[in-house]
Each structure stands twice: as C-alpha cells, then as structure tokens.
Structure 1
Amino acid sequence: MAAITAKETRRGERRGHGINHKSECRQYTSIEQALGDALAAYGVTGLAIYADGAVHRFDTTDKAKGNRNGWYVCPSLEVAVYGFWHTGEQHTVTTGGKADPAAAAEARLAAQRAREQRDAERRAQQVKTAEQARRWWATAGAADPSHPYLTKKRLAPHGLRQRDTMLLVPLFYDGELVNIERIYPDGAKKALFGGRAKGVAGLVGKLVDADRVLIAEGWATAAALYEAIGVPVVVARNADNLEPVARRLRQRLPDNVAITLAADDDRFTDGNPGTTKARLAALAIGAKVLMPTFCADCQRCTDFADVVLCRKERSL
C-alpha cells in the first residue's frame, strides 16, 4: 500500500494508472484537509469528506459522471485510505509524519473493509443485471434479418433477438444467461450496466458434438466465421476477455475437442492488442491461432468479418 504522509500534494502528471506527485513537507491540521489535498492531485475537488470510519464513494474525473470508481475511508482522525477501483490504486494519507503501527493497522483494516463492501456491491449488482438480462431475453422477439447492422455486415441473425432497435447478444457464464450485449443500428455495442464481464461469452452455432471450436472477439466476426466454415464460434466480446473465456472453455470441453483462437489483427493500433492477447490466450491453453489474410492493397480490414465483407463487395 502506498503512503503519502504529512505532505502537501500538488497536481502531477498522470502516467498510466499512477500519478507523479510533487510535494513538500507540511503538517495538516485535519485528516479532511490532508485527504482533500491528496484527491485534488487526481482532479477530485469540492468533495465533502467525512472522517466517520465509513466507506465513501465518489466519481473519478477520467470516467463518465456517476461512475463512483473512487473511494475513501477515514478510520481515525489521523489516517485516511483512498483508492480507485478501475485502476487498482490504493494510498494512505496521514496528518503528519509517518503513521504509527496502530494507525497503519487501522488503515489496512479500513482498506480491507472497503474491498469487501465493493465486492458485495458488485455481486448484488451482477445478480440484478442477470435478472434484467433474462427478462429482456424472454420478452424479446427474433431479430429482424433486415436490421441495419446485419444488413451492413451481410450476416444472418443466428439466433439473436431484438428489443426495439437493439439486437441482443446473450452472454453466458457457467451455462447461465448473466448479461446481454446490445448492438445498435449504427454498430455501437454495450453490455447491460453492472453485469458480470470477465469470463462471459456468447455463441454462434452449437457446441454439442463439435470436434473443433473457435474463439473470437466480436459477434460479427464469430458469425462470419461460422457462415464461412461451419464451426461453432464462442464470442469473447473483447481482447481482454479472450484468455478467461479460453481457460473456461478448455476446462469445459473434452480434451479431444480442438480450440483455436481467431484473432483480430489490430494492425493499425499500437501493440496490436487483438493479436497479442489472442496469442497469450492460445499459449495459456495450448491452442493454435488463426489470423485473417488481407488483400494486398487493403488498408481497412482488421478482422475476419471485415475480410468476408470486403471480399463480398469486391466480387460484385
């Protein structure tokens, strides 16, 4: 746990998920003042601070309004702990000097209490979101094959459902529907708020009796691959989720079922996250990686859905 003790923190420059503090020694007259200065370095100002031992949440400046990703707790009038859920940062601040052993112990307990409260809130929200997803799925109709997104991608619905203008992609965890990804007519995609994200997946095709399964990021890529080669494709939604999905799928399927990672080639993005994380996921389960092949002069395509659509357009 990082500690900021009895110092006046000024606004620094963000570096990744951290911050570069410039400080000078200073005694604070209250923990509220010390914590206020520490938070100001992250752009959080005007926050009412309560030294009441309870965990308090606040919005961070790098996320949309209402995100409540920041938290703090003042277990005593000399010590405060604060952090940011989305970056994993956690810091301790005191009114002056180094925290004594008792104050340090209070800070550790306060941080643990904050984590437990956050975990409980997250689990409760996941249950609530799963219930919403099941209601939406049960009351939605079959997807319109002429939906603008399907028309643009030249894909069949493959079991998707539709609510108003939104296509619904069901997302499962341990065989249960726990979330839904919404695809809007303009192609924007968004899961339901607060639902489980890590390890959840959709599916195009059927896993029953399959001897080979592909894992792809997006639904359109999965649908394009399924239409092209007839192999079931698991939808991981994004590059970060490829490895969690791959690990769970490998545990679930018989050893004789081959799993292949169908990577996006984010060749125009620094670090090529699609390819990099697909290879890491494949390495984690001993699988192969399938890469899209682009036309020699193509400066647009990055995934299998793009390639299929591009070739259809060129054949006209």
Structure 2
Amino acid sequence: MALHQAGLRLTGSVEMDGKMHRVPVEGDRKGQKSGTYVGHLDGWPAGYIRNHKTGTEIRWKADRLVWQMAPAERARFAAEAARKSAARARERQDIQERAAKMAHRLWAAAAPATSHPYLAAKGVRAHGLRQDQRGRLLVPVQGADGRLWGVQRVDVDGSKLFLKGARTEGGHALIGGRPRPGAPLLVAEGYATGATLYEATGLSVVVAFNAGNLATVAKAYRSADPSRPIIIAGDNDHHLPRKAVPLPNVGKEKAEAAAAAVGGTAALPSFPPGDRGSDWNDLARRQGHQPIVAAVRGALDQIQKVAADRVELAAAASSRKAQEVRPRGPRM
C-alpha cells in the first residue's frame, strides 16, 4: 500500500531482503525504473521508498511486529538486526566507492560536450558537461566538497539514468562555478532547469536532480555560508492536484520546505491551468528569460526585506531592554 501510494508499480511481490530494488513508477516509459525501495524483516518490519520522478519519499514501518517474542529472543533479534544493519552500511559504502571510481573513469574517457539533441530540445548550453562514445551526456553528481560521486547519463531521447550504485542523496551539479561568499545561490531540480536559470540570471546554480534532494543540498551550502541568500527555484507540478485522483504538488511542497529549512525563499514558475509546463525551462521556452529575471529579482528583494525586518526587530528589542534596565533617579 505504501509503495502504491508513492507511485511505484511492482509487477511481482515485494522483496523484503534488505537490498535496494529499482522498479517502474506511474508515468515511466517502457523500460524506465524511476522508483527504488528497500524492505527489512529483521527486527520490526520497515523500509524506505523513493519515487525519483516526483521526489516522494516514504520511510515505512509496520504498525506491529509480525509475531510476539520473549524478552531474551527479542534481545537476540535486536543484536542480529544491528549486525545486519552495520553489514548493509559497509556494503553500501563499498558499492558507492566502486561507483565513484567508475564515474571518474567514465568522466576521464568522455569528451567535452558542445552540442547534443537534448540540449537543442531544451534550448540550453553544455556548462561543463561531457559526452561519452555512445553520444550520451554526462552530468556530474558531486558532493559539497566537489568530489565526484557519480554521473547522470542523458540519452539522445532525453531519458536519464544515474550510475548504478552511486551515492545520490546530497549529490548535485554546480553551474556557473562556486559562488563567492555572500553571493546569491539558486537551487533547482534538473540540469535543463538549472542551465536555464544560469543563462537568464548569471547567478550560480546548484542542480539537485530531484525535488526530494533540494533540502539536503541547500543545507550543505547554508552550512558553508550562513549569510548567503538562497533561492529554491522549484518546479510547479500544478497539474497533479487537478488529476481525477488528486496528487500533491510535489515540486511546490518540496521547494517551500527546503526554503524554510535554510532561511531562504522559494520561487516557482507560473502556468495557465491547461498548460502542462512545470519548470523554469518550460517557462523560458514559452516566454523567454524575462519572467525568470523578474522572479529571481523579486525573490532576492524578499530575502533582503526579511533580513532588514529582523535587524529592525532586534534593534527595537535591544532598545526596550536597555530602557528596562536603565537606573531610575530618586523620586521627588
């Protein structure tokens, strides 16, 4: 039920073996597998579900144990569960390290990208991307320290696939170079959206790859620079709540949550009800860069106003406190 709620579409039974499984999600093309899940039966049955298309994440836990255990048996089961959990963590780290080495090899063997059908279709340029011998674009997936974790491969038909086993949570691509201290930063979902924002504004853009990763990436950059203005330039999945069975506007909700988590602001593109557009690249291809420039300028003005209001409130509070502690003269 939880898998179905997240949009994952399994053809067989759920495998509760502690391993990561990739499966199709609603809206996937044939052969695509944009969903992942992990299920555990050791200890209290639990699992993790992620829809990479919508950014939906569910950390599932059974509402009760499958069977009742005596205290000694429960202790043994808990110890075994902890052992298995540690083994899975080590295995996951080993897999991610091997994937990172493979990413370095793929990146080194690829040539700088200049033109590509996907870039032409989106109307954006290749900002440091590479292209492999099969014609696929390579988008780097890196950590906040710049270390390459993996790559996202974009085929000529626009289909996207992360390098198997590579770490993706917190991973991102940086367009426009690392911003100087205090300079504004935009955080977006996909590469084409990020490239559009950079080409429209000239501001550095971080590509988080999906809505569920926006907050993690934004927090890393907030930690590195507490004074930096951060704008979460999210997608606007306005068509989802209008479905026969309404779904949440994932892009809007995740962008606003990420902005709140880092003291930034969310900026979303606007579309008429019948328009299937959802991101800033869609808006640019319809109306050009001017609406993007105006939206980013408005978001920066909002951040500056909030900061000014905080300074004013702090000054007023300090003044009131000074008046309260000021010694009074003798009464006449």
- Post-superposition offset of 1:71: 4.8
**1:307 and 2:307 correspond:** no
Query: Which position in structure 1 is the counterpart of 2:209?
Result: 237
Which of 192, 196, 199 is 2:167 aligned to? Answer: 196
Unaligned 5+ runs, structure 2: 6-11, 25-32, 50-58, 241-246, 289-332
- Post-superposition offset of 1:305: 0.5
Matched letter for residue 213 of structure 1: L
What is the TM-score with the length of structure 2 in the denominator? 0.68
Matched letter for residue 122 of structure 2: K
Asked if 1 retains the 8 angstrom alpha-carbon contact of 2:179 and 2:185, the reply is no
**1:219 and 2:191 correspond:** yes
Asked if 1 retains the 8 angstrom alpha-carbon contact of 2:236 and 2:270, the reply is no
Query: Which position in structure 2 is the counterpart of 1:287?
Result: 264
Query: Which position in structure 1 is the counterpart of 2:307?
Result: none
- Post-superposition offset of 1:123: 0.6
Asked if 2 retains the 8 angstrom alpha-carbon contact of 1:207 and 1:213, the reply is no
- Post-superposition offset of 1:301: 1.1
Pick closer, same or farther for the CA change 1:236–1:44 going to 2, 3 Å.
Answer: closer
Give the SS at the match of 2:220: helix
Query: Which position in structure 1 is the counterpart of 2:147?
Result: 176
- Post-superposition offset of 1:16: 5.3
**1:123 and 2:93 correspond:** yes
**1:159 and 2:136 correspond:** no
- Post-superposition offset of 1:130: 0.6
Matched letter for residue 307 of structure 1: L
Which of 144, 150, 153 is 2:119 aligned to? Answer: 150
Query: Which position in structure 2 is the counterpart of 1:259?
Result: 230
Query: Which position in structure 1 is the counterpart of 2:317?
Result: none
Matched letter for residue 148 of structure 1: P
- Post-superposition offset of 1:207: 1.9
Percent of aligned pairs sharing the same letter: 35
Asked if 2 retains the 8 angstrom alpha-carbon contact of 1:81 and 1:110, the reply is no
Query: Which position in structure 2 is the counterpart of 1:31?
Result: none
Structure 2 distance, partners of 1:186, 1:271, is 28
Matched letter for residue 129 of structure 1: A
Give the SS at the match of 1:214: strand
**Residues 110-156 of structure 1, C-alpha deviation per residue, up to 9 Å, x if partnerless?**
211221111111111110111111111111101131x1101111111
Asked if 2 retains the 8 angstrom alpha-carbon contact of 1:60 and 1:70, the reply is no
- Post-superposition offset of 1:287: 0.2
Asked if 1 retains the 8 angstrom alpha-carbon contact of 2:239 and 2:273, the reply is no
Asked if 1 retains the 8 angstrom alpha-carbon contact of 2:44 and 2:61, the reply is no
- More strand per residue: 1 or 2? 1
Pick closer, same or farther for the CA change 1:110–1:221 going to 2, 3 Å.
Answer: same
> Which aligned pairs between 1:25-64 and structure 2 lie closer than 5 A?
43=13
Structure 1 distance, partners of 2:70, 2:249, is 47
Which of 260, 275, 299 is 2:252 aligned to? Answer: 275
Structure 2 distance, partners of 1:212, 1:307, is 22
Unaligned 5+ runs, structure 1: 1-13, 19-41, 48-55, 74-79
- Post-superposition offset of 1:277: 0.6
Structure 2 distance, partners of 1:234, 1:297, is 29
**1:112 and 2:89 correspond:** no
Asked if 1 retains the 8 angstrom alpha-carbon contact of 2:2 and 2:60, the reply is no
Asked if 2 retains the 8 angstrom alpha-carbon contact of 1:178 and 1:196, the reply is yes
Matched letter for residue 262 of structure 1: A
Matched letter for residue 170 of structure 2: G
Structure 1 distance, partners of 2:268, 2:19, is 43
Q: CA RMSD in A?
A: 2.9
Give the SS at the match of 2:139: strand
Query: Which position in structure 1 is the counterpart of 2:106?
Result: 136
Matched letter for residue 194 of structure 2: A
Asked if 1 retains the 8 angstrom alpha-carbon contact of 2:119 and 2:125, the reply is yes
Structure 2 distance, partners of 1:68, 1:248, is 25
Matched letter for residue 123 of structure 2: R
Query: Which position in structure 2 is the counterpart of 1:76?
Result: none
Matched letter for residue 158 of structure 1: H
Structure 2 distance, partners of 1:142, 1:127, is 24
What is the TM-score with the length of structure 1 in the denominator? 0.72
Structure 1 distance, partners of 2:125, 2:211, is 24
Give the SS at the match of 2:131: strand
Structure 2 distance, partners of 1:220, 1:243, is 19
Query: Which position in structure 2 is the counterpart of 1:39?
Result: none
Structure 1 distance, partners of 2:18, 2:180, is 48
